[in-house]
Each structure stands twice: as structure tokens, then as C-alpha cells.
């Protein structure tokens, strides 16, 4: 299991000086993932918040080999790098172990890059794909994505007299990845460093395609004080709107169970994107979402294999 003292001694592979928003969760994700992965790592990042703030020419925040791919093909790009590496190994040109990691936001993962991601998982490349999931297209104007939750206020599904934010539930991409039959799939969250780093460590120890979906609060699109990013991440796990679990070779394991599951209404109170749900006339929406959360959590508990 990842040790905080040891991790703190690692060279910073994702440096300060980037131009992310104060309180940005994406850069926390990148820093903690690379602290575990170490210097023998190649990173590919899809166009998105993380890439834009970290690679403004002629500067870079990445102290590892880094490739910027298009919005839709980060998984294909890292697959190509991994395939070249295997070719070099076969030819005797290289003999060191290398970690291959792709980063993509929810827009570039749930939506635009889904076909590329699915193909990479099906082909079995030895890669780790990390989705930093802030539940909307934050970099381009807070438009809704397939990861945006029901009831959220976005610029493309705004709250008004007729609609009360997004009307659909978010896509369950973690379960879609698990359905590919790959050896490792997990959900984690910004604000629980031990859960996140331990899952990265486990993923990188496994041969084959891996996927980690990391819930990443965004103070710009969600509407909260920047110092609360990690606190909100932990609250997501406490309310079970984002359960922390992993699927190892098809076996489910819940990695965090709240002692007392908090209500979805506690989550609503913390963010501007949900302020309209606090009105009494919108209580049926809150109740509906709570029932949806409860059902998924109950089903997840049934799937877990207790050893």
C-alpha cells in the first residue's frame, strides 16, 4: 500500500507553476498518480483542462515524457506508444519497465474518446487510462457531458422555467469498462489520497489494460470555494453518489463504506450548480436522485465478494 512518507520524498513529476484554477482537482490527480508511477512513465493527455493548463508553450509542468493527443484519441495514442515499446523489447533495443498512462477528462473519455478507449481496452494494451471526472466540459464553457449528473445546471442545459438542469442520469462508464472484461477497473476520488494512490499502485502492478475513474470536484463549474475541493471529494464518498470500489478480474470490492451514509441533500447544499434543487418545488427531483443513488449502492453491496 502507498506510504505517504515515501510518496512525499519522490521527485515532483508534475510541477507547480501551471495555470490551473485555484483548488483544481485535476492537477491533484496528476500529481498523485505520477508520485506512484515514478519517472519511468510515459504520459498521454487528451485535450482538456489538464493539458491546457500544464503545457502552455514553451513551458510544461510534466517531468516525464509527455504527448498531447487530440480530444478523441488519447487511448489510441498511448496504445501506439506501448506497441512501439513492445517492439523495442522484442528487438533487444530496450529492457527497462515503463508505465504507460493516459489522462482524459470526462468529455474526452465518456463522450468524444469513448470509441478509442473501448478499442484500446478490447485490444488488451498494457496501459492505465485515468479519467479525471469533473462532470462537464469545464475547459470550453461548462457544457453538459455524459458524466454530468441529473439536476446539474450547465450552460447547455440551464435551469429555467421549463427545465431544472440536466434531465438525464449520467452514464455509468466505470461499469461499461468493467463489462470489457479487463483485469482492473476502479473508482476513486480527490480527497482520499490513500484510496487513489493505492489503486494506482495496484493497477500498475497488473499486466494488461486498466481504467480508473477519479471523481474530481471543479470549483469553476460546480460553484464552491476553492479550498473545499478535497472535502467535497470525501463527501461524494460519504453520500455514495460516488462509491469507492474496484473490480479485479471481475471480482468487486468496495474500498470504502461510510459508517453512516449521508443524504444526497447534503451534497446538494454544497454547490451552486444544484442551488435550484433546494427549492421546495424541486424536492421530487432530489427524492428521485436519492432513490437512484440508493439503488446503485445496494446493488454494489450485492456484487461485492467478501473473502
Q: Convert the pLDDT of each residue in 209-264 to its tens digit.
A: 999 999 999 999 999 999 999 999 999 999 999 999 999 999 999 999 999 999 99
How confident is the model at residue 205, as a pLDDT?
Answer: 97
Say yes or no: domain 4-303 is CATH 3.40.50.970: yes
How confident is the model at residue 11, as a pLDDT?
Answer: 86
Residue 177 CB-half CA count within 13 A: 29
Q: Domain boundaries in the chain? A: 4-303
The DSSP string of 44-113 is: EE-SSHHHHHH--TT--SBSS-EEE--TT-HHHHHHHHHHHHHHHHHHTS--S--EEEEEEEHIIIIITT
H or E segment to which residue 130 belongs: strand 128-133
Dist. CA 8–CA 195, nearest whole Å: 16
How confident is the model at residue 6, as a pLDDT?
Answer: 78
Mean pLDDT taken over the chain: 96
3-state SS, residue 200: helix
- B/e letters for 48-57, b = 16+ CB within 10 Å, e = fewer, are bbbbbbbbee
Q: Is the pLDDT of residue 2 over 60?
A: yes
H helix intervals, 132-192: 173-178
Q: Convert the pLDDT of each residue in 157-199 to its tens digit.
A: 999 999 999 999 999 999 999 999 999 999 999 999 999 999 9
How confident is the model at residue 236, as a pLDDT?
Answer: 98
Q: Which of 116, 127, 133 has the alpha carbon at shortest distance from 73?
A: 116
Q: Kindly state the average pLDDT of the residues 120-146.
A: 97
Dist. CA 147–CA 168, nearest whole Å: 10
Q: Convert the pLDDT of each residue in 76-102 to its tens digit.
A: 999 999 999 999 999 999 999 999 999
- At 44, list the grid cell: 498521454
More confident residue, 40 or 5: 40
Dist. CA 228–CA 219, nearest whole Å: 8
> Looking up cell 507547480, which residue turns up?
16
How confident is the model at residue 3, as a pLDDT?
Answer: 73
How confident is the model at residue 306, as a pLDDT?
Answer: 64
Amino acid at each position: 500500500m502507498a506510504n505517504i512518507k515515501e510518496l512525499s520524498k519522490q521527485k515532483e513529476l508534475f510541477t507547480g507553476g501551471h495555470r490551473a484554477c485555484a483548488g483544481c482537482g485535476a492537477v491533484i490527480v496528476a500529481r498523485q498518480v505520477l508520485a506512484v508511477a515514478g519517472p519511468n512513465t510515459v504520459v498521454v493527455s487528451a485535450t482538456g483542462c489538464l493539458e491546457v493548463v500544464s503545457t502552455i508553450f514553451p513551458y510544461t509542468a510534466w517531468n516525464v515524457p509527455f504527448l498531447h493527443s487530440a480530444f478523441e484519441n488519447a487511448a489510441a495514442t498511448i496504445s501506439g506508444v506501448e506497441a512501439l515499446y513492445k517492439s523495442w523489447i522484442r528487438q533487444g533495443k530496450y529492457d527497462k519497465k515503463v508505465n504507460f498512462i493516459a489522462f482524459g477528462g470526462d468529455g474526452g473519455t465518456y463522450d468524444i474518446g469513448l470509441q478509442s478507449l473501448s478499442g484500446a481496452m478490447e485490444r488488451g494494451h498494457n496501459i492505465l487510462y485515468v479519467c479525471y471526472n469533473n462532470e462537464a466540459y469545464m475547459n470550453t464553457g461548462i457544457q453538459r457531458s455524459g458524466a454530468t449528473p441529473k439536476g446539474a445546471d450547465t450552460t447547455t442545459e440551464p435551469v429555467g422555467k421549463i427545465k431544472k438542469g440536466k434531465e438525464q442520469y449520467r452514464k455509468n462508464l466505470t461499469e461499461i469498462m468493467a463489462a470489457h472484461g479487463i483485469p482492473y477497473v476502479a473508482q476513486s476520488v480527490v480527497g482520499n489520497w490513500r484510496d487513489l494512490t493505492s489503486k494506482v499502485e495496484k493497477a500498475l502492478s497488473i499486466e494488461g489494460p486498466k481504467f480508473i475513474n477519479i471523481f474530481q470536484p471543479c470549483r469553476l463549474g460546480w460553484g464552491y470555494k476553492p479550498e473545499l475541493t478535497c472535502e467535497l471529494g470525501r463527501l461524494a464518498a460519504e453520500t455514495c453518489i460516488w462509491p469507492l470500489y474496484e473490480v479485479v478480474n471481475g471480482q468487486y470490492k468496495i474500498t470504502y463504506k461510510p459508517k453512516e451514509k449521508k443524504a444526497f441533500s447534503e451534497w446538494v447544499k454544497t454547490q451552486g450548480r444544484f442551488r435550484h434543487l433546494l427549492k421546495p418545488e424541486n424536492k421530487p427531483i432530489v427524492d428521485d436522485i436519492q432513490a437512484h443513488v440508493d439503488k446503485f449502492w445496494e446493488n454494489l453491496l450485492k456484487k461485492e465478494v467478501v473473502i
